Amino acid sequence: MTDPAVLTRSGLDELIAVLIAEGYRVIGPTVRDDAIVLAEIGSGAQLPSGWGVESAPGRYRLRRRGDEAVFGHSAGSQSWKQFLHPPRRRLWSADGEGFSPAREEPVRYAFLGVRACDLAAITTLGTVLGGGRHPDGSFIRRRQGLFVVAAGCTEPGGVCFCASMGTGPEPGPGYDLALTERIDSGGHRFVVDVGSAEGARVLAGLAHRGASSAEIDEARGAVLAAAARMGRQMPAVDIRELLQESRESPLWAEVADRCLTCGNCTMVCPTCFCTTTEDSTDLTGEHAERSQRWASCFELDFSYLHGGSVRVSGASRYRQWITHKLSTWHDQFGGSGCVGCGRCIAWCPVGIDITAEITQLATLRESMQTGEDDPGDKP
């Protein structure tokens, strides 16, 4: 594989221009509506230079940094799933007796600034939507055309916990190029790791120089050091097993007192994939269409059956979401569904923290096993 290289700040602008010239639609972070928003960019000038993020349960604010870093912020509310698995997509139309699949314009996205957590999320979506017996053709085509520029995290956010989920902060496989941003006496530059032949080819067309081993070690070290500075972490237990044993935990009723079942967590989560179908006709009834749109297991009729829903209570719906994400996902898809990005924590209106809930579940299980009083008991 190609050796690591160094791109200057203007080298990054050149990378963007080259990708656009090759026909990619470059999606990157931008500042809009007081948040970091993933959008199509036309140049590096649109990147969020000097913007950072303060995040905490139920809280997300932009803050001005003291430097001009373009990747010095943690994730915004959206994830890359909206481009690979769009919120709404037409599936087919029907006229007369026949059904015609919807034509999709082939699109090639270049994702710029994909963090380790989000890279792991794209891989997970690949298993869910592309790895089964009936793969989602639209997802597969979008992913096949993808060029991924990952970003190594050196400043984890307040809600981040990728390290304890084993997904970061160092980007795993799946990128074409990975950039680790450095701003110091050596200037504003990026140490570039090459992850694919396509990445090597694109890099070869840019002005760059080889990275010294000191630069490589320093960049790697900064990313690895980030692992020790996570905003929070999952407890070191077998979470899959913990949830299997917690079906009747008193925690669910307690969370239900706080959870609004608004579904924000499912919208911002980079791996939540559930959809529903919507059928419609025109006024004559001759032309019919089906679309697919994002759905959430928090919706009241998500589990509709025989005149009512199976999961009616907020407690059962919260239990479903967290159990699927961290436990039954293993049974269904062979791994965890959570990548530790923390978006669900920041964007929960009441600040429910998935790591705190799992920690509490572990505590409750331990106290029930040892026969002590339930710490949740009121005196």
Partner 1 sequence: MTSPEQLAGFALFDRLTAPQRATVARTAQDVAYSDGTRLFDEGQPASGCWLIQAGQVSLETSVPGRGQVVVHTLGPGDVLGWSWLVPPHHWHFTATTNGAVSAVLLETTQLRAFADHDPALGYPLSLGLFEFLLARLQSTRSRLLDLYGSPRER
Partner 2 sequence: MNADTTAGVGAARAVVSPDGEPMLPVPYRVVARRVETRDSVTLRMEPAGPALPPFRPGQFTMLYRRGVGEIAISISGDPSVRDESLTQTIRDVGAVSHALHEASPGDVVGVRGPFGTSWGLDTAIGHDLVIVAGGVGLAPLRPVLLGALADRGAYGRVVLVAGARSPAEFLFREQLGEWAATPGVEAVLTIDQPATGWRGPVGFVTEPLSRLRLDPRRTIGFLCGPEPMMRFSANVLLGKGIPASRIRVSLERDMKCGIGLCGHCQLGPLLVCRDGPVVEYADVRSLLTAREL
Residues that bind partner 1 (CB under 8 A): 306-308
Residue 332 near residue 320, CB atoms below 8 Å: no
CA–CA dist 363, 358 (Å, integer)? 9
What does each C-alpha distance from 180 to 122, 191, 223, 372 come to in angstroms?
A: 20, 5, 8, 49
Pick 333 or 356: Cβ nearer partner 2? 333
| Site membership for partner 2, residue 64 (CB under 8 A) | no
CB of 279 to partner 2, least distance (A): 5
Cβ-proximal residues to 30 (8 Å cutoff; 6+ apart), any chain: 36, 37, 38, 39, 41, 46, 47, 48
Q: Which does 77 bind (CB under 5 to 8 A by kind): partner 1, partner 2, none?
A: none
Residue 116 near residue 169, CB atoms below 8 Å: yes
CB of 308 to partner 1, least distance (A): 8
CB of 290 to partner 1, least distance (A): 25
Cα of first residue to Cα of last residue in the chain, in angstroms, is 63
* Helices and strands in the chain: count of H runs, count of E runs: 14, 16
Residue 55 near residue 74, CB atoms below 8 Å: yes
CB of 309 to partner 1, least distance (A): 12
Question: Among 81, 311, 325, 343, which residue interacts with partner 2 (rule: CB under 8 A)?
Answer: 311
CA–CA dist 252, 193 (Å, integer)? 44
List beta partners, residue 111: 27, 148
CA angle centred on 343, ends 178 and 104, rounded to 5°: 65
Per-residue interface string for the shown chain with partner 2, residues 78-97, x marking contact by CB under 8 A:
-------------xx-x--x
Pick 112 or 129: Cβ nearer partner 2? 129
Question: Among 275, 336, 355, 360, which residue interacts with partner 2 (rule: CB under 8 A)?
Answer: 275
Q: Which residues of 169-188 are buried (b: 16+ CB within 10 A; e: fewer)?
A: bbbbebbbbbbbbbbeeeeb
Residue 291 near residue 91, CB atoms below 8 Å: yes
CB of 87 to partner 2, least distance (A): 14
CB of 301 to partner 1, least distance (A): 13
Q: Which does 308 bind (CB under 5 to 8 A by kind): partner 2, partner 1, none?
A: partner 1
| Site membership for partner 2, residue 10 (CB under 8 A) | no
Cα torsion for 8, 13, 19, 22, to the nearest 10°? Answer: -110
Question: Among 274, 356, 365, 368, which residue interacts with partner 2 (rule: CB under 8 A)?
Answer: 274
| Site membership for partner 2, residue 43 (CB under 8 A) | no
| Site membership for partner 2, residue 331 (CB under 8 A) | yes
Question: Among 33, 103, 106, 133, which residue interacts with partner 2 (rule: CB under 8 A)?
Answer: 133
Binding stretches for partner 2 (CB under 8 A): 91-92, 94, 97-99, 101, 128-129, 132-134, 136-137, 247-248, 273-277, 279-281, 285, 288, 290, 292, 295, 297, 302-307, 310-313, 315-316, 320, 323-324, 327-328, 331-332
